[in-house]
Amino acid sequence: MNSMKVIFRADASTMIGTGHIMRCLVVADALREQNYAVSFACIPQEGDMIPYIENRGYEVLTLSASSDLPNVDELNYSTWLLQSEGDDAIEFAHLVGSAEIVVVDHYAIGKSWHKQVINQLNCFLVAIDDLVREHHADLIIDQTLGRTPEEYSGRGKVLSGIDYAMVAPKFSKLRSQAVSKVFNDKKPKILVSMGGG
């Protein structure tokens, strides 16, 4: 097994939805195929997907929520972390101990968390984002349609746009079938489902 240790820091819940975990799993699967040692760090909460991640074969390190929880506000991302950003960074670094690569996909985690964790673990930090926030990451990945690297400032390299979409391989394999499908002359019924919240 590759000695490179990769830790993903992401959460899911009934409030947050499932998207952060699902796109991290696409990247995690690709890294595991390359023999990286991959695990996740998540806060247990309603709808956390921890059993799902474990059933996919990944170890999940569990972080704690603050004893005096803030009121979770759907529009205030900082409340989604269930503790201060600084406390989360300290606990994460202590729990992980060491890692060569840390991948973060969380709207409540930003520049100060990145700096703290990089200083503690001396790691390469990847931020997955789609909000064009300020980061202190070595690499930023934003798969948003039409996004350009110039929209981000900071020290990290930016991979942006749909060329970097984190799509499970099974969907790519079905594309040729979908493109070649012939529809009858009636108007087709189309269902589009976005997110898992």
Contact status, residue 8 vs residue 40, Cβ threshold 8 Å: yes
Instruction: Give the integer Cα–Cα distance in Å for 177 and 172.
Output: 10
Instruction: Give the integer Cα–Cα distance in Å for 74 and 41.
Output: 22
SS3 assignment for 129-155: CCCCCCCCCCEEEECCCCCCHHHCCCC
Look-up of token digits 């819940």: 13
pLDDT one-digit tens code per residue, 62-113: 998 765 655 666 666 777 788 889 999 999 999 999 999 999 999 999 999 9
Task: Give me the pLDDT at residue 88, please.
Answer: 94
Task: Give me the pLDDT at residue 183, please.
Answer: 66
Task: Give me the pLDDT at residue 90, please.
Answer: 96
User: Domains of the chain, with CATH numbers?
Assistant: 5-170 (3.40.50.11190)
The model carries a pTM of: 0.87
3-state secondary structure of 39: strand
3-state secondary structure of 124: strand
Looking at per-residue confidence, does 26 or 185 come out higher?
Answer: 26
Instruction: Give the integer Cα–Cα distance in Å for 167 and 23.
Output: 7
Task: Give me the pLDDT at residue 190, please.
Answer: 78
Which amino acid is located at 101 in the chain? I
Q: Is the pLDDT of residue 27 over 90?
A: yes
Looking at per-residue confidence, does 74 or 171 come out higher?
Answer: 171
Q: Diameter of the chain by CA atoms? A: 62
Contact status, residue 24 vs residue 10, Cβ threshold 8 Å: yes
Look-up of token digits 């799993």: 25
